[in-house]
Structure 1
């Protein structure tokens, strides 16, 4: 297999994973019983607009209205449902406006009404309403610090739930006595509904003290105002009777299964290593290089031709200067350095939402000659890795994978092909 053939296989595997989570096909399959009264659609996340469009199309005969918020550039028309856009990964003023509009949409409902919550990754930033005693600038500062700290997504969303007047199940409480059904596209390791978009309609059993402990663990400054707001006991928890019906309609595990099926169609044996791999991106790159070499040289833990598949969300801890890049391109640059031009090994890694970090690429592909091609144009890969500047490296070598917004989000997909 040559570089061109490997790229075709890897991109087919990646796109199969993305396609398996597209809202259009999966949302109608999970729709609840139609309500006797109104249906109010709310939602937040990178997939929320596409999910709303699917709901509007599926229920033309229902008294339906609502509002959802998605990331800038991810909006699509959704008929009777209003689509808002806001910033990600750090909230902006539209995030706060959206949260207030969504909260207002679920007030004054009856037991005959249905609140259909469309939740997907990214919703934590896109729907931001600070608790009493804090303002949006406080939340923005905390979020920015968490993004650079190396905290994992569960830790970040634990803090966000307790700094929010709408997350951690509080939105479901606002909707009472209406029935609440949440359709969730998961982007978090473990698929805990309370972690997806910080669980606005899901009962929260964590405590403010645990949120404070996360901030202290990562040496994030905690002002007296933030400490007082966190510990003011203003949290309201859902009782078991008030808990919403939460339905996972697309997950990383489902996406990996689709990726494995695509690999088999190419006559390649897939090995799924897990859907919830975490840790530092560059460290995972080193580990994966070792496994890929073992397959290439010894046929363990799977005989070649094979593809190693994994999902989850790694972290990039930034210290000092930081260039351009995200989790996936940093993982790939580390993997390429560790493989040391090993023949017969290629890899792709990308975020299924189409945006790796804050750049305009989903991820990239590496080849056996990636490092040498970089050197030919004056790029020393270890230096770019040290500066967290992986996007710039792959942009220069022409190896970025650019999909644009996919309108779904089941986190990262990594595939290492060994021939």
Structure 2
């Protein structure tokens, strides 16, 4: 099912990039105002993503872009599916030449399905074994764990979720029987490309605020209730991401954060602080860390922020419009923007260093004091102190030291974030210099 897109489009023609965190470059699309979203980051070099009309989201386009060099350059292409009116649901890359795309019907009598390319998107061949040929069929997700093993996930038909599995790269598919799946609720549907994965685990969301989960590449499934009543409604919606097979996060459209440590069975709200906050759009963990990045694409709630302590403390990055976010590791990550052929814009590439430190599960006991009269920052801890790094609110590192008494006379007045490292881990604290 497709959630109504409520992004209000705006563009800043400012050429100053967020060089300390994001650097914006061209997404390769020939027309202005083409948005880039639904990233699938395959490895440190390769990523595929879907284009859409950012000026008029009701206008259907069938375009993609991909990078083979860690986001330095992007090459756009067209999904040639034989029917230009099909909507694009999701995209799963396998390598630089091979990818799968899910398409959904936008008109009565249409049939969606799964298509595959083996020539970098020049041609696409329908995978007819993933038939999606019921009148109610609506493909939402395609995900390949590797070159051979993949899933195609759609709304319920004939009383149960329409999910196909393949173990031979799409040559054949088998629909999962109803006995292997949790029963859908009345009128419950899924959403386009709204899912998370970690290793052999995959989760997808529903219109009833539920999360359907498999820990074994789709062989068996469970279902859990989330704190949200709907993951894609017009008034409430959300996104989810998992760092590991058990630890995940939900962000709703007002910026609330919920976390799980049992693969989604139970969720707890997070009381967070800091100089920033989650933005309510997309959210992405850096896999196997406690770091996460939040973005917002709404015209009145736009920006990006990050947390280094599992969502407890947030630091703002910018107030630019970001329509998606995805990270592969602590050096490779992307966020969607809108094409601008004059200024060569359209996609944000992570170019910072603040996400590169090792994560810790618990914060250490540290106290931080700033004396504005003497312009000195004093760090007090019973742990073995290693170093401190100080960042401004744009994520720029302005000072680093291995001393617990630091002179701050060389930095300007303002709010700063101190990352304090000890032998037991790291704590992030805020201080104000007047």
TM over 0.5: no
Greater RCO structure (CA 8 Å; 6+ sep): 1
More helix by share: 1
More strand by share: 2
- The TM-score with structure 1 as length reference comes to 0.28
